[in-house]
Amino acid sequence: MIVTKHSFKLVWKYAVCLVLFSIQASGSELITGMQYEQVNSEEFVGRLWLPDTSNKAPAILLIGGSGGGFENKDAQWLSSAGFVVLNIRYFGAKGLPPDLVNIPIEYFNSAIVWLNNNQHVMKGCIGLFGHSKGTEAAILTAYYNPSVKAIVARSPSSIVWAGPGWSGLNESSWSWNNNPLDFHSVGLIDGAIWLSRVLRGKKLIETRDMFDNVLGDEESVNKAMLPVEHMNAHLLLLSGKDDKQWPSTKMADMLVSILDKSNIDFSYDHFAFDNAGHRPARLSKPDDTFANGGTVRGNAEAHKRTKVLVKEFFDKNLQ
C-alpha cells in the first residue's frame, strides 16, 4: 500500500475523531435537576450556569480540554458553590473552527466582555477555570487580558502544544491577531505509535510519555512556554501525580519554577495529589480509549479537596 500525504491526513482525521469523541464524553454528563441557559451569541458558543442566589455573583469562564465539548460536571459544582459559570466551546461546533488549530485568543476575551455585561455578574470579578488543554487558553487569555483576576489550572500544560487538528500535526493550537503562537510538538515516532494504537482499537492508552519525551528539548520548550510570569492573575495549579495523559505535575512545576524566579505581584500555588489522574472526578473504564490514572480512593480524595481549594481560591481573589 502506498501512503500518500492525502491518505495520511484521512487516517489522521479518523483517528482524531475517535480520540475527541472519547475525551469529550468524559466530562459531559449532566446531573439531574441542574439547569443551564444556552447562550445565543454571535461571538461564542456557551452555556450559562447560575448560582442559587438573587444577588450578583463573581463569574468563572470555564474552558475545557481537547475533547471540545462542554464541561457539565465542573460547571454544575462551580455554580452550586456560588459562582456564575459560562462554559464555552471553542472548536468542533456550528459556527466554530472544526479543529483545535489556530483558535483566536480573542474568542475567549469576547466571552469575558459578555460576562462583565451580564446582569447576574459582579462587574470586574472574572476568573478562569481551565482543564488540561484549556489551561493553555486560560493563561494566554490572562496574558492578553489583564482584567482577569484569578485562574485555576487543573491538569495543566506549561507550554503551547501543537493542535491535534485534522489539518495536520504541526500547527499551533492558538493565535493572536491572526498570528499563530509559538508551539512545540510531540515526536514523530511517538505520534505514529499513538496513532497506530488508536487505529487498532487499543484501550486505556497511556500518552504521558509521548509528551514527557520532548520536554527535554530546551530550545523548543522555551519558545513555546506559556507567559505565566507576564500576566496579572492569581494562579492555582492542580495536578494528579498519576496523570496518564500528560505530565501535568511536571508541567505545573515548570510554571512554578518560572514564577519563583520572577518579580510578580500575584499569588500562586501548586497542589499535586497522590494517586490521582488526569481528571480526578472520573475513573477509567475498561472501554475508554485513554487511561486517566489514579486509584479510586486517590481520585475521590483529590476531587473532594479540589472543590474546597477552588472555592476558597475564587472566594478570596474574586472580590
Q: Which residues have a catalytic role annotated? A: 132, 243, 278
- 31 secondary structure, DSSP code: P
Query: Is residue 149 within 8 Å of residue 233, measured between CB atoms?
Result: yes
Q: What are phi and psi of 211, to 5 degrees?
A: -85, -40
Beta strand pairing call for 45-49 and 84-89: antiparallel
Task: Give the dihedral sign, CA 53/87/141/313.
Answer: positive
Enumerate residues 6+ apart whose C-beta is below 8 A from 255: 153, 156, 158, 226, 228, 235, 237, 268, 270
Query: Is residue 55 within 8 Å of residue 11, measured between CB atoms?
Result: no
Strand partners, 237: 153, 270
User: Distance between CA atoms of 215 and 250, rounded to whole angstroms?
Assistant: 10
Task: Give the dihedral sign, CA 62/68/69/71.
Answer: negative
User: Distance between CA atoms of 131 and 133, rounded to whole angstroms?
Assistant: 6
User: Distance between CA atoms of 169 and 186, rounded to whole angstroms?
Assistant: 9
Q: What are phi and psi of 299, to 5 degrees?
A: -65, -40
Strand partners, 152: 129, 236
- Nearest C-alpha neighbor of 120 from the set 78, 76, 39, 59: 59
